[in-house]
Amino acid sequence: MGMDNKTLLAIVLSIAVIIGYQFLMAPQKPPEIQKKETTSQSKEEMAKPVLPPISIPETPAEGREIRVDNKLYSAVLSTQGATITHWEIKPYQDDKGKNVVLLNRPGVVPAMGPGSTTDFDLSRVTFRVSGGDLRLDDSNKSGSVVFEYNADGRSMRRTYTFYADTYKVDLTDEVTGFPDYWITLGSDFGIFDNDSKYAHVGPVLLQGTDLDELKPKKLQAPQTFKENLKWIAQEDKYFCAGLVPLTKVEEARAWTDKGSPIIAFKGQPSVNKFFFYAGPKEHDRLVKLDHGFEYIIDYGFFSIIARPLFWILKFFHSFLGNYGWAIILLTISVRIPFIPLVSRGQKSMKRLQELQPKMTEIREKYKKDPQKMQKEMTDLYKKHKVNPVGGCLPMVLQIPVFFALYKVLLISIELRGAPFLLWIVDLSAKDPYYILPVVMGITMVVQQKMTPSTMDPKQAKLMMLMPVVFTFMFLNFASGLVLYWLVNNLLSIGQQVVINRRLAKQQA
């Protein structure tokens, strides 16, 4: 096999392996909350650092409920712990047509942490409350609910301020009489789908510009973060809840509680101001929060390419009104800069195919003298002005663009529930009838048949397995991803037709 064939095969197989890995190896979800606590501890467990003695009740504690409602969400607060016990958002529904619920157990929990001389637990204290149910709209744009506790020299005053047109909530905790102060979102506030595939589920934090997605395996031992803390959050593929400090926080700490990952801030035993956001990972909304919270949308290694591609996709949607057509137009736009390079590569492959008999003759003649064979091959390439890797270079250069766009189409909530045509009613879901993946597989076969190759028959048969492998992998991929690949294949076929005709005219 010549150098060009080895390179091409390696690239195609690499793409298959990477996509297959993401398809088969979804990120590990947080383990289920254990119903029974372990009664004995190993020496290793006993040696772990002391953690905030926070307890997350498995069911909402009893207490007076305060309801908050606006056009975006409905929330329930409890005087037991001054916590939020329910949060559902209205613009997004589950597969049964019900509103997405991001919390139905206590979240935004105050707690005392390491250094406390008592096991006193604020999450189980009954607070006095000022203010009642809130219904926010254009005529009543904001409202506050204040919880207060004061006994035995300890006091806490918590103020929630809600708004009519945003998922953002302002939060102030005024704490006195405690040696320290911690606050956590709880174990699952912001997580709708624990089974999210191809995306991180669980705690995440931003330090400066470094996003750290914490997996349950990494939290077998507690982790502490102190430098340049921007925010903490719990997330799944499309939704999140994040806590952003507006006053100084000393550290963030992540650990597991009853098997579930937890992340918390340590603030000051005085006035602590935050805001939190609980809703969809809509890029434009997150940018408006103005604290780098949009970086919770993780486009991966090629984010420097992915973010501009996302902006272009949004721009096309703004006047097309359909994300399916926007994906098609984006695919064409991404393809245009590579047309000259791809054309040269395809022409190079065509010339190599024509030189195949001479290359075979040289290999047979000098098979016992590799150095002489290499020299004769190089002279042949120079004489006919052919680059042996010219057909592979365009593919190599397109790989970062492909994976960047792949990530954009995979995790963008803007595509969740977005219809295209006919039976494609959700571009973020798989094709229910598998029509797009099958058609995509057919175009791959056509493309391989049309593309010049210098492979021997055995290698060619191996490469013909690739459409079958890709088709099966793409059966459960989001329709938006399959649509991109299909359109890209059609463009490649069209370009190859033009090149083949031009070469035929030159030879005539």
pLDDT at 139 over 80: yes
Q: What is the pLDDT of residues 385-433, one digit of tens each?
A: 776 665 566 667 677 887 888 888 888 999 888 899 889 999 988 899 9
Sign of the Cα torsion 126, 132, 135, 137 reads negative
pLDDT band per the 50, 70, 90 thresholds, residue 79: very high
**CB distance 189 to 232 below 8 Å:** no
**CB distance 427 to 420 below 8 Å:** yes
> Which pLDDT belongs to residue 44?
41
Higher pLDDT, 220 or 255: 255
- Tokens 């030159």 found at: 506
pLDDT at 208 over 60: yes
> Which pLDDT belongs to residue 436?
92
At residue 273, the 3 state secondary structure works out as strand
pLDDT at 55 over 50: no
> Which pLDDT belongs to residue 187?
83
> Which pLDDT belongs to residue 98?
93
pTM of the predicted protein model: 0.78
User: Across all residues in the chain, what is the average pLDDT?
Assistant: 79
Q: What is the pLDDT averaged over residues 215-242?
A: 89
Q: Where are the beta strands (DSSP E) in 123-222?
A: 128-130, 134-135, 142-151, 154-163, 168-176, 182-184, 202-207, 210-213
Q: Which residues contact 446 (CB under 8 A, 6 or more apart)?
A: 489, 493
pLDDT band per the 50, 70, 90 thresholds, residue 16: low
- Architecture field, domain 43-298: Distorted Sandwich (2.70)
Q: How far apart are CA 54 and CA 60, in angstroms?
A: 15
> Which pLDDT belongs to residue 43?
40
pLDDT at 20 over 60: no
- The string of DSSP codes covering 306-353 is HHHHHHHHHHHHHHH--HHHHHHHHHHHHHGGGHHHHHHHHHHHHHHH
pLDDT band per the 50, 70, 90 thresholds, residue 109: low
pLDDT at 334 over 50: yes
Residues 186/189/192/193 CA torsion (nearest 10 deg): -30
pLDDT band per the 50, 70, 90 thresholds, residue 346: low
Proportion of the chain above pLDDT 70, given as a percent: 76
Residues making up the chain, counted from first to last: 508
Q: Which of 68-82, 98-112, 127-141, 445-459 has the lowest mean pLDDT?
A: 445-459
> Which pLDDT belongs to residue 112?
46
Per-residue tokens: 183:
């606050």
Q: What is the pLDDT averaged over residues 43-59?
A: 42
> Which pLDDT belongs to residue 387?
67
Q: What is the pLDDT of residues 150-178, one digit of tens each?
A: 988 889 999 999 999 999 999 999 999 88
> Which pLDDT belongs to residue 36?
32
Q: How far apart are CA 422 and CA 239, in angstroms?
A: 28
Q: Which of 39-43, 172-176, 502-506 has the lowest mean pLDDT?
A: 39-43
User: Could you tell me the residue ranges of all domains in the chain?
Assistant: 3-23+304-507, 43-298
Proportion of the chain above pLDDT 90, given as a percent: 34
- Tokens 């005053």 found at: 157
> Which pLDDT belongs to residue 26?
42
Q: What is the pLDDT averaged over residues 252-280?
A: 89
> Which pLDDT belongs to residue 60?
43
Per-residue tokens: 55:
């307890």
pLDDT band per the 50, 70, 90 thresholds, residue 311: very high
- Tokens 């040289």 found at: 362
pLDDT band per the 50, 70, 90 thresholds, residue 90: very high
Dihedrals phi, psi of 313, to nearest 5 degrees:
-60, -45
pLDDT at 358 over 70: yes
- The string of DSSP codes covering 424-436 is ---TTS--TT-HH
Q: How far apart are CA 211 and CA 505, in angstroms?
A: 55
Q: What is the pLDDT averaged over residues 261-289?
A: 92
**CB distance 106 to 178 below 8 Å:** no
